Structure 1
Amino acid sequence: MTAGRVSLVGAGPGDPDLLTLKAVRAIRAATVLLVDDLVGEGVLRYARRGARIVHVGKRGGCASTPQAFIEKLMAAEALQGERVVRLKGGDPFVFGRGGEEAEHLRAQGIQVNVVNGITAGLAATAALGVPLTHREHAHGVMMVTGHARGDGASLHWPTIAAAAAQGLTLVIYMGVSTVRSLQAGLLEALPAGTPVAVVQHASLPQQRHAVGTLGGLADLVEEHGLGSPAVIVVGDVLRGMHHAALEAQPMKHARTA
């Protein structure tokens, strides 16, 4: 019996039209698919008839399949000769725990193939019609997670903000549940008027977004009822959108004494 093989496949942000050709080929070839919650429903239309589909939910703030169980199941199926695809939302190596899974599988002599997918941070800004980088506004991108692992593992947001202030677009995954604390930290090194956008369900028909400033970020999330899965974008690449949003708001009359 061969040592087995597993493909870690990025399903992209949800829209099946954003799958890569390599991802489609891998999905069609699979006899067993382990599918995350954030994989768009339309993606599974490419699965072969008779393929076994196992839903292994992984979503912040919700009941999730234990990671150890997923890794054990992948290895067991591969060692039985199945063509296993671990199907993940976005990209498997961008906050998808693909690195942990690849290490576990390789330690058992199982070959791992990685198929990249469009990550939600890229899809979110593309859906808004703005870039992640811009020669005049942003010289790079910083992708971070607002969902830290374990006590004491949280990011030091003032340090992140100081780096972003040097001309980087900040993209925050899984940050809406801790938006007030991350906002407070970012405000220590970034102006309150820094443009922000929050995009929920990027690329899907139910996509929603709101645009504002860092000083009002938490209120923006609450006012619009935005929740997971969502991406928070912070930076000057959003300036055009922010100005347009302000112009679209009704004029507020000053109160007289």
Structure 2
Amino acid sequence: MGAGGGARGVLRRLRGANGPGVRVSLVGAGPGALDLLTLRARDRLLEADAVVYDRLVAPEVIALAPASAERFDVGKGPGDSHRQAFINELLVELSARHERVVRLKGGDPFIFGRGAEEVEVLRARGVEVEIVPGLSSLLSAPALAGIALTTRGVSRRVALVSAVGEGGEPTPVGDLATHVDTLVVAMGSGRRREIAEELRAAGLELETPVASVEWASWPDQRVRWGTLEELGDWTGRAPAVLVVGDVARGVEGARE
């Protein structure tokens, strides 16, 4: 590449690029919508030589990368799960071949995104890594539905939890719910009935307000409102974020 790397080299210098020695940028893509992407995330994609992205990243976001950039879909979907070890090795290999590698994750890479594991592997192999935070779906999905997770006199304690733990094992949520005012649950679409039973067993009232935000910020976003008594009978599509607590009661006018 010529001195400065041409137009892309100029852009990198003007924007500060990724910092000295950085090879991989771990970028949060937010909940989905292109206009909810951060400016820094956009800039990293515009400069990318290779992009490794997950299933829940909108095509419009991926399209920001140059046409010449290599693209790798490593998303985990039904019947198609790439081992994390494969993704780690792919990032290491790409960092040896390219100046700017973007690892693109839905939401925020450090909130139930396994981002810390990838950073640990890369740094252990001598690869410089930059973290570009994104809007976590656990926070932005409720906001997009009009739900304020903290409200004076209603909710001052909020817990974020994934319904699925290591190896796909279910994560208990009942005990946690008794210590907070609002519970926000990710990856709970397939466990709605179990979650409802756990929360009832923990002592939550049947009338406890519940909301489910599906595909937040995407064109087919859907919000369901109800109570803990109804939660177990709900059906819907992943990804969805569940909100349990009185904060869901404050948006009656928005109910479908």
Alpha carbons 1:9, 1:87 under 8 Å: kept = yes
Q: Which runs of 5+ in 2 are unaligned?
A: 1-19
Aligned length: 236
1:227 corresponds to which of 223, 229, 237: 237
* Contact 2:163 2:173 (8 Å CA) reproduced: no
| 1:125 counterpart residue number | 142
Following the alignment from structure 1 to structure 2, what is the Cα–Cα distance between the partners of residues 47 and 217? 40
How high is the sequence identity, in percent, across the aligned residues? 44
1:80 to 82, 97, 113: 97
For 2:251, the equivalent position in structure 1 comes to: 241
Partners of 2:41 and 2:92 lie apart in 1 by 20
Q: Does 1:36 align with 2:64?
A: no
Deviation for aligned residue 1:140: 2.7
Contact 1:195 1:242 in 2 (8 A): no
C-alpha displacement of 1:49: 2.7
Deviations 1:60-110 (A, max 9, x none): x44222211111010011123431100011110011110110111111111
Once the two structures are superposed, residues 139-196 of structure 1 have per-residue CA deviations (whole angstroms, 9 ceiling, x without a partner) of 0321100112238x543322112112xx2x2110000111111111111221111110
Which of 207, 210, 216 is the aligned partner of 2:230? Answer: 216
From 88, 93, 116, the equivalent of 2:110 is: 93
Distance 1:238 1:62, change over 3 A: farther
CA contact (8 A) 2:209 2:245 kept: yes
Instruction: Check conservation: 2:29, 2:107, Cα contact below 8 A.
Output: yes
User: What's the secondary structure of 2:80's corresponding residue?
Assistant: coil
Give the letter for the 2:226 counterpart.
G
- Equivalent residue number for residue 255 of structure 1: none
SS of the counterpart of 1:46? coil
AA aligned opposite 1:218: G
Conserved? CA contact 2:194–2:232, under 8 Å: no
Distance in 1, Cα, partners of 2:253 & 2:46: 45
1:49–1:158 CA distance, 2 compared to 1 (3 A):
closer
Determine the C-alpha separation between the residues in 2 that align with 1:104 and 1:76: 12
Aligned to 1:22: 40
Counterpart selection for 1:172 from 167, 179, 185: 185
**Does the 8 Å contact 2:29/2:37 carry over to 1?**
yes
Q: State the partner residue of 1:253.
A: none
CA distance in structure 1 between the aligned counterparts of 2:176 and 2:45, rounded to whole angstroms = 37
| Aligned residue number for residue 162 of structure 1 | 178
The Cα RMSD (Å) is: 1.9
Q: 1:213 to 1:96 in 2, by over 3 A?
A: same
Q: Do the aligned residues in 1 keep the contact of 2:107 with 2:134 (CA within 8 Å)? A: yes
One-letter code aligned to 1:211: W
Of residues 236-245 and 94-103 in structure 1, the stretch that sits farther from structure 2 once superposed is 236-245
Q: CA deviation at 1:48?
A: 1.6
Equivalent residue for 2:130, pick from 113, 116, 134: 113
Aligned-pair CA distance for 1:244: 6.3
Query: Counterpart in 2 of 1:254?
Result: none
Alignment TM-score, normalising by the size of structure 1:
0.86
> Aligned match of 1:183 in 188, 196, 199?
196
In the alignment, structure 1 segments of 5+ residues that lack a partner are 249-257
The amino acid across from 2:48 in the alignment is A
Counterpart Cα distance in 2 of 1:191 and 1:22? 44
Aligned to 2:221: 207
Measure the CA separation in 2 of the matches of 1:86 and 1:210.
Answer: 32
Give the deviation of 1:125 after TM superposition.
1.2
**Separation in structure 2 between the aligned mates of residue 52 and residue 150 of structure 1, nearest angstrom:** 30
Report the Cα offset of residue 202 of structure 1: 0.2
